[in-house]
Amino acid sequence: MTNFAMRRTKMVDTQVRPSDVTKFPILDAMLSVPREDYVPDSKREAAYMGENVDLGGGRVMLEPRTLAKMLDAVDIQADELVLDLGCGLGYSSAVIARMADFVVAVEEDEAMAAEAQSTLSEHGVDNVAVIAGPLTAGNAKNGPYDVIMIQGAVEAVPDVLTDQLKDGGRMTCIFAEGMLGTVKIGYKIDGAMVWRHGFSAGAPLIAGFEAPRGFVL
């Protein structure tokens, strides 16, 4: 029988800590959430590999290093409200839920969203609401948010999403740049977004987040 708890410890010790992620809430969350339960059954053995796990439908579970470093950059606090876009089968939301006050998770695929909510409920994660809907629309009804995370790559972030971020809030996602990409961290200051480069990472481009034609960085 596979010892997934041992694999979780190894994942944190060999993929997360060496990436200079040392905040206790992040390490504790990644040691506690059973990653193998948030992937298709056929992918359980691959759940702790140091690479993105394909969930189908253009969605991935980001590799542990990437997710951990994104979480480190946005520094979620215990009283904060987080919008998790592209939650897939719920893993990222389960991890964030251990750090935040509440998580609103959005997933376009209705079946995937339903499975995510079911798995989260089975694990007693009661501070996440999974909503089926377009990722590019976010979820203004329950905002504004302290933190917004996008679990995949984008070319551009729609204004409708940054509008849902509180002033002083943080946002992070992977900006697609050819085969690789760059994680950037956005800060909303006086109503405007200021983006800073974070680190290199890769993920599939999420449908709907393409740059408008003629768009120049």
Q: What is the predicted pLDDT for the residue at 191?
A: 92
Structure pTM?
Answer: 0.95
- Tell me the residue length of the chain: 217
Residues 4, 60, 52, 82, Cα dihedral to 10°: -80
User: Considering the chain, what is the average pLDDT of its residues?
Assistant: 94
* Maximum separation of any 2 CA atoms in the chain, in Å: 54
Angstrom CA distances, 48 to 11, 89, 123, stand at 6, 15, 19
**Residue pLDDT, tens place only, 176-201:** 987 789 999 999 999 999 999 999 99
Residue 103 near residue 127, CB atoms below 8 Å: yes
The C-alpha atoms of residue 186 and residue 172 are separated, in whole angstroms, by 6
Residue type, 208: G
pLDDT score at 180:
82
pLDDT at 214: 60
* CA atoms of 204 and 54, how far apart (whole Å): 10
Q: What SS3 class is residue 165?
A: strand
The tens digit of pLDDT for each residue in 142-168 reads: 999 999 999 999 999 999 999 999 999
> Could you tell me the two tokens for 1?
């029988």
Which positions of the chain have pLDDT values less than 50?
none
